Structure 1
Amino acid sequence: MMIKINLDVMMAKRKISLNTLSDTIGITPANLSILKNEKGKAIRLSTLDALCKALDCQPGDLLEYVEDESI
């Protein structure tokens, strides 16, 4: 995948647990874990908005473009 989700990094920087963040933004821990472990295929803009608000960050802090070397 060419877009890397740095949710785990931001959670560590903000010292917030998966369950606390899940409760704060209203997403299930299972779905948040999928994003955290980079297993997701898509992210809703409303979810990205809620994550940015809860983690006090910008979308670019959570999403990173990484060149796909297999192409």
Structure 2
Amino acid sequence: MSIVVNLDLVMVKKKMSSTELANRLGITMSNLSILKNNKAKAIRFSTLNEICKALDCQPGDILEYIEDADAEEDSGEVD
């Protein structure tokens, strides 16, 4: 997937544990783990909003676009 979730990095920078963030967000540790480990297929804007509020950050601090290597090979473009 081209979207990478850097939630774990932001949590380290903000010195917040998974337990504390899950409690602030009102989500299970399991769901938070899915987000942190890039296993999520989607995220609600309301959840992203609450994460940003709890961690005092911007959505771009958490979400990052990285082009897939496969996409470059399949494009047929030559450098």
Structure 2 match to 1:22: 22
Structure 1 match to 2:75: none
Residue 39 (structure 1) shift: 0.6
- Return 5+ residue gaps in structure 1 as ranges: none
Residue 45 (structure 1) shift: 0.5
Structure 1 match to 2:13: 13
SS in 2 for 1:22: helix
Are 1:57 and 2:79 matched, yes or no? no
Q: Which runs of 4+ in 1 moved over 3 A?
A: none
Distance between the aligned counterparts of 1:54 and 1:31, measured in 2?
16
Calculate percent identity across the aligned residue pairs. 61
Number of aligned residue pairs: give it: 71
TM-score (norm 2): 0.88
Structure 2 match to 1:32: 32
Distance between the aligned counterparts of 2:58 and 2:22, measured in 1?
18
State the superposition RMSD in angstroms: 0.5
Residue 38 (structure 1) shift: 0.6
Distance between the aligned counterparts of 1:26 and 1:66, measured in 2?
29
TM-score (norm 1): 0.97
Larger CA Rg, structure 1 vs 2: 2
Distance between the aligned counterparts of 2:44 and 2:27, measured in 1?
11
Distance between the aligned counterparts of 2:47 and 2:28, measured in 1?
11
Are 1:45 and 2:45 matched, yes or no? yes
